Structure 1
Amino acid sequence: MTQTVHVTHDGHVAVVTFARPPHNHADLSLIEAVGAAFEAADADADVRAILLRSEGRVFCAGADLANANPVADPQPEGARNPFYVAAARLFAVRKPVVAAIQGSAVGAGLGLALAADFRIAAPEARFVANFVQLGLHPGFGISAVLEHVIGRQRAALMLLTGRRIRADQAAEWGLVDEVVAQEQLHEAALTLAREIAAGAPLAVQSTRATIRGDLFALVQRQTDHELAEQAWLQRTADFAEGVRAVNERRPGRYIGA
């Protein structure tokens, strides 16, 4: 579909693969392309489930806040940020999504993983909501969706510490549904997607809609709030220090200003 996203089909499963080496950083074009692939799968009556995966060692290292911050540009009053419009669009897909997580899912990469119904991970996978370590409020709807998946207390722990969660702990928490060896990851995720696709498609979509509720509307509302908080935090000295600290791989020296 684009230079960064391509789609293949395995029976009734659409396999959506994205690649932006070396770290699969998320920007507007990538998220829009994944969203377009999801919408095409929704429109294809032969597709009953979607497998989301990426190439390389990292699932998605999040947005490149130092060089291409997708939420930094001010928008006209009342307008939504295009990056978060594209992010919310991922939650509007009607067909079940399985994500294969081979490595780190950081920041917006965690948000991308949370757009899926199920996550199959390799032992090397790590899940990180490191926004506060950047001096920033969480985005991509994570401040709402993460709690739905792992509960409020565990979500608070991840969001307020920026702690890296290993695949085995993520499985204990329900953030990951299965941990398999790296070389078995694609086949395990595809097996689950095939199992879902084997069900009666209308019944599967109806049941999924009941379970998820209006998650799309929730993410739309939450990203509006997240963006407002991010806007003023990005003007602070702590945010500038946080971006430097992460790029320099050192603890941040924050001053609360």
Structure 2
Amino acid sequence: MKEHIAVTRHDHVATVVIDRPPHNHVNAALIGALADIFEECDRDDDIRAIVLATEGKVFCGGADLTGDRPLADESGESETPALYRHAVRLFAAKKPVIVAVQGAAVGAGLGLALVGDFRVAAPEARFAANFVTLGFHAGFGITHSLPRVVGQQHASLMLLTGRRVKAEDALRYGLVDEIAPLADLRATAQRLAAEIAANAPLAVEATRATLRADLAEAIRRRTDHERAEQDRLMKTQDFREGIRAVGERRAGRFVRG
């Protein structure tokens, strides 16, 4: 999956760009490759901050839940355990991460955006934890990472309604730190990264480690629980109906079964 990720470097900032059209869907291989790159950046003393961005209109449409065996690898086995192991690796990275969100960040795509310390968004950005719309339990550690950023009440609102949150509302929630015009989005994220990188790197890393103390371990514990609930709910009629309803752009007709 590294062929879908490009890395450039300038003035102590690494810009990591995912390009997996059309929706930049995540899977275990892609998140594993991204975690490898983050760990390579950790080992490079010349890199002091990371900008994470994607190509196209959609930041990340989450996992691809279409087909007869969603979230299964080529052998038919669930790839969710590997996906979440690699997600924990992202949260464990040592360098500050600024995420540039140009469009929809949905489901696991929202989870990916929450890996960052900061998020810069275009006005076109939308954020959605739409799992309940699909008859599904939230994953990617979102039940921990989202309340940590926006507070319990805003997180509950997003997780229990599945609604899409506009960029200006996300700014009010604290989910977004800055809104920038689409044409200037990546440059704005890079300027924030450069502002961080201009400081003493050991002090930045130590302060960040204190601020994020035990975060990766908390994500590991939470994804263990999320995966168990996802496995249970994927067997229900409501999950199958939720996938159909979203694909057909209609409200789900759920039966609690």
* CA distance in structure 1 between the aligned counterparts of 2:106 and 2:72, rounded to whole angstroms: 16
Q: Give yes or no for the alignment of 1:207 onto 2:237.
A: no
* Aligned twin of 2:70: 69
* Aligned twin of 1:26: 26
* CA distance in structure 2 between the aligned counterparts of 1:138 and 1:192, rounded to whole angstroms: 30
Q: Give yes or no for the alignment of 1:55 onto 2:60.
A: no
Give runs of aligned pairs for residues 198-237 of structure 1, distance below 5 A.
198-237=198-237
* Aligned twin of 1:16: 16
Read off the aligned partner of 1:131 and give its amino acid letter.
F
Displacement after TM superposition at 1:235 (Å): 0.2
| Long gaps (5+) in structure 1 | none
* CA distance in structure 2 between the aligned counterparts of 1:71 and 1:224, rounded to whole angstroms: 17
Secondary structure in structure 1 of the residue aligned to 2:62: coil
* CA distance in structure 1 between the aligned counterparts of 2:26 and 2:212, rounded to whole angstroms: 25
TM-score (norm 2): 0.96
* CA distance in structure 1 between the aligned counterparts of 2:122 and 2:70, rounded to whole angstroms: 29
Further displaced range: 114-123 or 80-89: 80-89
Q: Cα gap change, 1:80/1:123 in structure 2, threshold over 3 Å: closer, same or farther?
A: closer
* CA distance in structure 1 between the aligned counterparts of 2:8 and 2:101, rounded to whole angstroms: 18
Displacement after TM superposition at 1:69 (Å): 2.8
Residues 13, 47 of structure 1: 8 Å contact kept: yes
Displacement after TM superposition at 1:70 (Å): 2.6
Displacement after TM superposition at 1:74 (Å): 5.7
* CA distance in structure 2 between the aligned counterparts of 1:167 and 1:80, rounded to whole angstroms: 29
Displacement after TM superposition at 1:71 (Å): 6.2
Q: Give yes or no for the alignment of 1:109 onto 2:109.
A: yes
Percent identity, aligned pairs only, is 55
* Aligned twin of 1:244: 244
* CA distance in structure 2 between the aligned counterparts of 1:141 and 1:125, rounded to whole angstroms: 21
Residues 52, 97 of structure 1: 8 Å contact kept: yes
Residues 145, 219 of structure 2: 8 Å contact kept: yes
Secondary structure in structure 1 of the residue aligned to 2:2: coil
Q: Cα gap change, 1:71/1:225 in structure 2, threshold over 3 Å: closer, same or farther?
A: farther
* CA distance in structure 2 between the aligned counterparts of 1:55 and 1:24, rounded to whole angstroms: 8
Residues 26, 64 of structure 1: 8 Å contact kept: yes
Structure 1 residue ranges (4+ consecutive) displaced by more than 2 angstroms after TM superposition:
67-75
Over the aligned positions, Cα root-mean-square deviation in angstroms equals 1.5
Residues 28, 80 of structure 2: 8 Å contact kept: no
Read off the aligned partner of 2:192 and give its amino acid letter.
L
Residues 197-219 of structure 1 show CA distances to partners (whole Å, capped at 9, x for unaligned) of 00100000000011111100000
Displacement after TM superposition at 1:120 (Å): 0.1
* CA distance in structure 2 between the aligned counterparts of 1:100 and 1:37, rounded to whole angstroms: 17
Give runs of aligned pairs for residues 146-157 of structure 1, distance below 5 A.
146-157=146-157
* CA distance in structure 2 between the aligned counterparts of 1:120 and 1:222, rounded to whole angstroms: 26
Read off the aligned partner of 1:3 and give its amino acid letter.
E
* CA distance in structure 2 between the aligned counterparts of 1:64 and 1:36, rounded to whole angstroms: 22
| Long gaps (5+) in structure 2 | none
Residues 80, 224 of structure 1: 8 Å contact kept: no
Aligned residues, how many? 254
